[in-house]
Amino acid sequence: MNFDSIYNFFNLDKSFEYLIKSKENELKDNFDSLEGISEFNQLKVLKAFNKNKLSTQDFISATGYGYADVGRAKVEAIFADIFKAEDALVRPSIVAGTHALSLVLFSLLNYGDKMVAITDDPYDTMQQVIGIVGNKKGNLLSKGIKYEKLALDDNLLIDYKNISQVIDKDTKLALIQRSTGYTERRAFTIDEIEKAIIEIKKANPETIVFVDNCYGEFTEDKEPIEVGADILAGSLIKNLGGGIAITGGYICGKKDLIEYCSNTLTAPGIGKDEGLSFGTSRSVLQGLYFAPHIVKEAIKVGMLFAKIFDSFGYEVIPKINDPQSDVVQAIKFKDPNKVITFCKSIQEASTVDSFLIPEPFPMPGYEDPVIMASGGFVEGATSELSADGPLRSPYIAYLQGGLNYYQGKLALKLVLSNFKKQGYI
């Protein structure tokens, strides 16, 4: 098959073809190992659809208070089923993963309560929610919430042996961030999360275990509630959106905890009983249907990037044979110009806005300038091919998403071509 016209259009350097093909062959076993997880999660989704009798009527839009919005309740029942939770809150009015996480914290914590992050400080935007950076009005610290963290151990793993030193009788909530975020550690696996939960509950059985599940959904055959988490939250335009959901976030967990969250989202006495889905039930569930396959494709893209850049001597996180528990692939460049070139190359491979040139920018919720390459059908959807990173040492680019492997491979060829022009490889 002659790809010359495509190569010429994208101005690709053909000299990398053999390298990419050889690394794909080396990754065959890694790719094959993803198939079983993807199939299991696909069937889990279909089971939830059938068990909850998803019907055409559930896609009908409502108005006003949303009393007639039958799809809203059906979506939440399906999410609760998939995540093995007692209840769920899935709404388009939850505008981002940070909003979903923030909603949980503001719903469950009151003046004088203490929360502990046992996976070190959380993601950049959550640090502003808590108030440990930025001093934004209305943050948790300003409302009298106490915050502590447990640093990771020397191997950048959860410091299990010291969990009992930070979780005590006064600890209301323990936060576990599953994904790498903007750090230098890999995502934590379900087994590692379970081990941490056991230690937390030993120290204080009443402590609420809250898992930031962003980027981790469907990467394994279990989710955090199945190993003892009390509540978790995430975004619908990351893994679960499948490139189709246009907005929204979700929270799943124990029924009484979800009631607190719904009362905060709307009002006590209203809770989950009002609030429109704005006709999004179809796109949310269709995205959920595609999500297990999309997650597999995204992990394959990340693995190929990791294999190639590892061969050029760059540090990659996770390493190829590390466990995969999120869809984020980090590459440590130690050079801001390389991060910028990387993100600009990813933008060139985008489905939408490929002609735009991303630049570092002071974005809301971040202390450092951030460069973001994201050109998809849904603005900002990291289920689609994207890359970003804060412009701070050690200058790491974080690749995520990819609706299909072939687009990811094209993006890799663009990155390599542009890196070669710049003399980076």
What is the 3-class SS of 3-37, one letter each residue?
Answer: CHHHHHHHCCCHHHHHHHHHHHHHCHHHHHHHHHH
User: Of 270, 288, 306, which one is at a domain's C-terminal end?
Assistant: 288
CA distance 181 to 106: 21
The one-letter code for the residue type at 167 is: I
DSSP string computed for 130-175: HTSSS--TT-TGGGT-EEEE----TTSS--GGGHHHH--TTEEEEE
Residue 164 forms part of a structural domain: yes
User: Of 288, 313, 342, which one is at a domain's C-terminal end?
Assistant: 288
CATH number at residue 236: 3.40.640.10
Is residue 282 domain-shared with residue 376, that is, in the same domain? no
Is residue 163 domain-shared with residue 310, that is, in the same domain? no
Is residue 265 domain-shared with residue 323, that is, in the same domain? no
User: Of 237, 263, 288, which one is at a domain's C-terminal end?
Assistant: 288
Is residue 76 domain-shared with residue 192, that is, in the same domain? yes
Cβ neighbours, 10 Å, residue 69:
23
Q: Retrieve residue 337's tokens.
A: 């110009």
Confidence (pLDDT) at 318: 97
Domain that holds residue 109: 58-288
Confidence (pLDDT) at 387: 96
Is residue 346 domain-shared with residue 368, that is, in the same domain? yes
Is residue 283 domain-shared with residue 262, that is, in the same domain? yes
Residue in 279, 324, 285 with CA at minimum distance from that of residue 305: 324
Residue 309 forms part of a structural domain: yes
Is residue 189 domain-shared with residue 253, that is, in the same domain? yes
CA distance 196 to 119: 10
Q: Retrieve residue 97's tokens.
A: 């993963």
Is residue 297 domain-shared with residue 408, that is, in the same domain? yes
CA angle (400 as vertex; 395, 404 as ends), nearest 5? 145
Confidence (pLDDT) at 78: 98
Confidence (pLDDT) at 357: 96
Is residue 375 domain-shared with residue 302, that is, in the same domain? yes
**Cβ neighbours for 13, distance < 8 A, ≥ 6 positions apart:** 413, 416, 417, 420
CATH number at residue 32: 3.90.1150.60
Is residue 260 domain-shared with residue 114, that is, in the same domain? yes
Token pair 């590892």: residue: 310
Residue 48 forms part of a structural domain: no
Give me the tens of pLDDT residue by residue for the chain, a chain 425 residues long. Answer: 888 899 999 999 999 999 999 999 999 999 999 999 999 999 999 999 999 999 999 999 999 999 999 999 999 999 999 999 999 999 999 999 999 999 999 999 999 999 999 999 999 999 999 999 988 999 999 999 999 999 999 999 999 999 999 999 999 999 999 999 999 999 999 999 999 999 999 999 999 999 999 999 999 999 999 999 999 999 999 999 999 999 999 999 999 999 999 999 999 999 999 999 999 999 999 999 999 999 999 999 999 999 999 999 999 999 999 999 999 999 999 999 999 999 999 999 999 999 999 999 887 778 789 999 999 999 989 899 999 999 999 999 999 988 999 999 999 999 999 999 999 99
Confidence (pLDDT) at 1: 80
Question: Do 89 and 99 touch, CB atoms closer than 8 A?
Answer: no
Is residue 279 domain-shared with residue 308, that is, in the same domain? no
Count of domains for the chain: 2
CA distance 218 to 226: 13
171-177 vs 208-212, strand pairing mode: parallel
Residue 122 forms part of a structural domain: yes
